[in-house]
Amino acid sequence: MSEPQPSAVASPTQPGAFAPLRQPVFAVLWAATVLGNIGSFMRDVASSWLVTDLSANPTAVALVQTAATLPIFLLAIPAGVLSDILDRRRFLIFVQLVLAAVSGTLLVLSHTGALTVEYLIALTFVGGIGAALMGPTWQSIVPELVPRAELKSAVALNSLGINIARSIGPAAGGLILASFGAAVTYGVDVLSYAFVIAALLWWKRPAVIDSGLSENFLGAFRAGLRYTRASKELHVVLLRAAVFFLFASSVWALLPLVARQMLGGTAGFYGILLGAVGAGAIAGALVMPRLRARLDADGLILLASVLTAAVMGSLAFAPPQWLAVLLLLVLGLGWIIALTTLNGVAQSILPNWVRGRGLAVYLTVFNGAMAAGSLGWGLVAQQVGVPATLLVGAVGLLVAAVLFHRVRLPAGEADLQPSNHWPEPLVAEPVAHDRGPVMIQVEYRIRKDDRPAFLAVMKRLSLERRRDGAYAWGITEHTGDAKRIVEWFLVESWAEHLRQHHRVSHADADLQGEAIRFHIGPGKPEVHHFLSL
C-alpha cells in the first residue's frame, strides 16, 4: 500500500491538522490505507527477515529492498499516465487484487517450505510493480476528496497514517513471525487488502464527464514529459529528493543486518526497531506544524538530514538494543520531516491535470535513489563491512545537505486552478481533433525601450507554454517594423491545443498579463492559429 493526497474551495482560516478527516470519503479511505499499510509492513518484515535465514550475503539482503523499489523507478511514470487517463477507483481495485495475489503466493510457498531467495526476490519485484502502479494514482485521488485549503493537512495526515502503520505493522509482523511463522504473517497481509478493496467499492466516485478531449496513453505520456522538462520548480524538488534519499537509503538497506548481526536481535526485535521508526514518525507528524512555523522547507530538509546522519553514525558503533530503539525513534522523526516536506512541495507546484504524472516522476526519483542506493550500499558493505558503510553514508549525507542547502525549494504558493480565460479559437469550419501540428502566433507591439523587460517576461512565459503542451516555442521581430514582435509555439494536434485552453492556470494568466502590459497596440495582442496541410 501507499498513501492517498486535495480540491477546490479555500477557507478564510487555516484548517486544523485533522480537518480532512471530517470529509467522510477521505476518512474511510485514509483508515483503509492505514490497515493496508499495516499488512504491507508485516509482509515486508517477514520477507526481510526470511532472506537473512535463506542467505547471509549482504548483497542478497539488499536485493530485496532493490526488488521492492526498482519497479517503482521503472514504472512510476507510465503508472502516472494511467492514473490521469483511467478511472482511478477501478484501477486501484485491480492493483489491490494483484498485490493480494502476491502475498497469497508467498503464503503458500512459505507454508510448503518451497520459498527460496530467488522466489522471494521475484515476488517482491512483482509486489513492487503493484506499488508502482498504485502510488501516483492513490496520491492523485485526494484532490477529489478534500477542499484545496486542506491540501497540506491532507498530505500530513497521509504521512501520519503510513507511519501509524509503520509503528504497528513491523512490530506486529515481527511478533506474528516469531510466534506463528511467515505463512500466517503473509495471510494477515492478504486479509488487509480485503478492507482496502471494500473501501474502494464503497466509494461512489462521481462519473467524469467526457469532454471529447480525453488523452490516449502515448499523448498523455509525451505531455507529462514535456511538463517535467519545462518545470524548473519540479527540477529542484527532484534534485533535493534524489540527494537525500540516495544517502539515507543506506540505513534502510542494511537495517536487517544491523538488527541481526551487530545488535544480536531476533525477528521480534527487528519489528520493534521498525515500529520505533513509525512511532518517531508519528511524533514528527504531530510536531510538524510547530517546525513549519519556525523553519522553511530548506531548513526542514537540513534538519532531517542532520537527524538521519546522526542515527546512521551512532548505529555504526553497535549501541545497546535499548539505545538502538531510541535512535530509530529519531530516525522516524527525520524521515517524516523529509517525506512530508518534499511531498508537500511537489503537491503544491503541480496542477491537477498533470498531478498523477508529476507525482510519478517524483516517485521515480525517490524510488530510483532508494533502489540504486540500496544496491550500492549493499555492495559497499560486502567489501568494507556494515559499520564502515553506515559511517560513510552518514558523512556523505551531512556534506550533501550542506552543499545543496543553497538550491532553494520552491514556495509552492501559486494559484494553479484553471483560469479558463482564453477565448475559444475561431475556426472557419470544424477541425478534426487529431489534425496537426498547430502553430499559434501571438502578435505584440512593443516599444524599443521596453523590449529587454518584455523579453525577460517572455522567457518565463515560454516555460509555461511548454508545460501546458507546446513542443516548440520562439519569438521573432518584423524586419520592416521593429515594434512588431510575434511569439509562436507549436502543439502536436488541435485537441492538444484545446486542452491547453483548459490547462492554463491563474498563475499562468498573471504571467501572460505581465507580457500583455507591454503591448501598445489597440486592444489585446492578435492571436492566429495555423494548421498543417
Q: What is the DSSP string of 426-470?
A: P-SS---TT---EEEEEEEEB-GGGHHHHHHHHHHHHHHHHHTT-
Torsion over CA: 127, 130, 134, 135 (sign):
positive
Residue 213: the pLDDT is 62
Residues 183/55, Cβ–Cβ less than 8 Å:
no
Output phi, psi for 489, to 5 deg.
Answer: -150, 155
Separation between Cα atoms, residue 418 and residue 320, nearest integer Å:
56
- ∠ CA 383-385-388, nearest 5°, is 110
pTM attached to this predicted model: 0.74
Separation between Cα atoms, residue 304 and residue 284, nearest integer Å:
10
**Which three-class secondary structure state does DSSP give residue 141?**
coil
Separation between Cα atoms, residue 45 and residue 270, nearest integer Å:
8
Residues 76/130, Cβ–Cβ less than 8 Å:
no
The amino acid at residue 219 is G
Residues 61/52, Cβ–Cβ less than 8 Å:
yes
Residues 241/484, Cβ–Cβ less than 8 Å:
no
Separation between Cα atoms, residue 213 and residue 500, nearest integer Å:
11
List C-alpha distances in Å: 450 to 116, 255, 429, 440, 519.
71, 60, 38, 23, 10
* 513: Cβ contacts below 8 Å, ≥ 6 apart: none
Output phi, psi for 481, to 5 deg.
Answer: -150, 100
Domain 438-531: top CATH class: alpha beta
Separation between Cα atoms, residue 493 and residue 437, nearest integer Å:
5
Name the packing angle between helices 321-348 and 355-384 (round to 10°).
150
List C-alpha distances in Å: 356 to 88, 164, 493.
10, 25, 22
Residue 474's H or E segment, with its range, is strand 472-477
What residues does each domain of the chain span? 19-205+215-404, 438-531
Name the DSSP class of 519: B
Q: What are 203's three cell numbers?
A: 466509494
For domain 19-205+215-404, give its CATH number from 2.70.98.40, 1.20.1250.20, 1.20.1050.90, 3.40.1160.10: 1.20.1250.20
The residue with cell 461512489 is 204
Cross-strand partners of 475: 487
Residue 207: the pLDDT is 66
Q: Is-same-fold flag (19-205+215-404; 438-531)?
A: no
Residue 12: the pLDDT is 43
Separation between Cα atoms, residue 304 and residue 397, nearest integer Å:
10
- Ramachandran sector of residue 488 (left: φ over 0; alpha: ψ -120 to 50; beta: rest): beta
* 38: Cβ contacts below 8 Å, ≥ 6 apart: 165, 168, 169, 172, 192
pLDDT in tens, the chain (533 residues): 444 443 333 344 555 667 788 888 888 988 888 888 888 888 888 887 777 777 666 667 777 777 877 787 778 788 888 877 777 788 899 999 999 999 898 888 888 878 778 888 888 888 888 888 887 777 777 777 877 667 667 777 777 787 677 667 777 887 888 888 888 888 888 999 999 999 999 988 776 655 556 667 777 888 888 888 888 999 999 999 999 999 998 888 888 888 888 888 877 788 788 778 878 887 887 788 788 888 888 999 999 999 999 999 999 998 999 999 999 999 989 988 898 889 888 888 888 778 878 888 888 888 788 878 888 888 888 888 889 999 999 999 999 999 999 889 998 777 777 677 777 776 767 777 778 799 999 999 999 899 999 999 999 999 989 988 889 999 999 888 888 999 999 998 888 888 888 888 888 888 888 999 999 978 889 898 998 88
